[in-house]
Amino acid sequence: MKILRTLADLTTCISSLKKSDKQIGFVPTMGALHEGHLSLLDVCNTKSDVSVVSIYINPTQFNDPQDFINYPKTLDADLAKLKDRKCDIVFVPDPGEIASDYLAKPFALNGLDTVLEGYYRKGHFNGVINIVSLLFELVKPDISFFGEKDYQQLAIIKAMVKALDFPIEIYACPTMREADGLAMSSRNLRLSPYYRNKAAKIYEVLNQAKLLKADLSPSQVKDWVYERINEEKDFKIEYFTIANSLTLQNIHSWETSIQMRALIAVYCDGVRLIDNIEF
Ligand code: AMP
């Protein structure tokens, strides 16, 4: 496994791979790696000749400076996990070399970025687009892997690739969960054992809500979810939406002709957790 830390080393390495016509697979991450990230790497290894993982905690996508400070940093353990799992190249850029205002050109997202995470975390998706477009320019992947765990991010990256004409396939990977259903997340490390145990309720409630579709309207399901989550001590729901899977706009009645997704954000003892399921 090659560990590259400078843009110059990465550029040299990528040009030589391109000359030998290798298919490059790419998994961008912010580290604190868990089985969710590693599942993306596993798929990447089966679908490309060379796997590249980046580890970079991107400050521009944190709307809350305290969240950035608290974000877990576990580089040595991350590198050991990647080596164990088979990764060809890890790119760990020096923050000093990463431009915070890199963005090829503005493009329309047709409302994908103004709802949900975009509404509650102002500037978050600008930061994501900024870093992912820069990494795409540098790594020049043929295919790049993103988790459905961050469903809105996945939709925005797909829209970005189309709008900016990146010759890259975006491959969606399913959400990996703990045995009790909690979506794996680097932020789970910040939960105390008590709240870690309680946090499984988020996925449980999402699944129960789906069963209520037969009897309740979307707004009644929404009220039911708010009540179930907020009744837990130190849980506070930030949003729960049932949306059109493609546009992410809220739906007001059950429609059989479109795919729907339920998306949720919950503060659990101050730790912000997100999840989503097909609805
Ligand atoms: P992050 O390090 O949180 O920026 O995540 C890097 C990539 O891993 C993103 O594409 C995430 O959607 C994906 N990811 C994070 N958690 C999971 C999970 N539990 N299952 C599948 N993919 C995940």
Convert the pLDDT of each residue in 208-229 to its tens digit. 999 999 999 999 999 999 999 9
Catalytically annotated residues: 37
Give yes or no for residue 206 having a pLDDT over 60.
yes
Pocket flag, ligand 1, residue 175 (CB < 6 Å) = yes
Pocket flag, ligand 1, residue 87 (CB < 6 Å) = no
pTM above 0.85, yes or no: yes
Between the CA of 173 and the centroid of ligand 1 the distance, in Å, is 9
Structural contact between residues 204 and 278, judged by C-beta atoms closer than 8 angstroms: no
The minimum-distance atom of ligand 1 relative to the CA of 31 is 2
Cβ neighbours of residue 256 closer than 8 Å, sequence gap 6 or more: none
Structural contact between residues 133 and 102, judged by C-beta atoms closer than 8 angstroms: yes
Structural contact between residues 240 and 264, judged by C-beta atoms closer than 8 angstroms: yes
Other C-beta atoms lying within 10 Å of the C-beta of residue 165: 9
Pocket flag, ligand 1, residue 176 (CB < 6 Å) = yes
Task: Determine the pLDDT at residue 70.
Answer: 87
Determine the Cα–Cα distance for residues 97 and 80; give it in Å rounded to an integer.
24
Residue with CA nearest ligand 1 atom 11: 147
Mutating to test ligand 1, I would choose from 33, 37, 71, 272 the residue with most ligand atoms within 8 A of its C-beta, which is: 37
Convert the pLDDT of each residue in 179-202 to its tens digit. 999 999 999 999 999 999 999 999
Q: Which of 152, 59, 141 is nearest to 109 (CA)?
A: 152
Other C-beta atoms lying within 10 Å of the C-beta of residue 70: 15
Task: Determine the pLDDT at residue 210.
Answer: 96
Task: Determine the pLDDT at residue 64.
Answer: 87
Amino acid at 190: R
Between the CA of 29 and the centroid of ligand 1 the distance, in Å, is 7
Cβ neighbours of residue 5 closer than 8 Å, sequence gap 6 or more: 91, 92, 93, 94
Between the CA of 79 and the centroid of ligand 1 the distance, in Å, is 16
Mean pLDDT score of the chain, rounded to an integer? 95
Tokens standing for residue 232: 């837990």
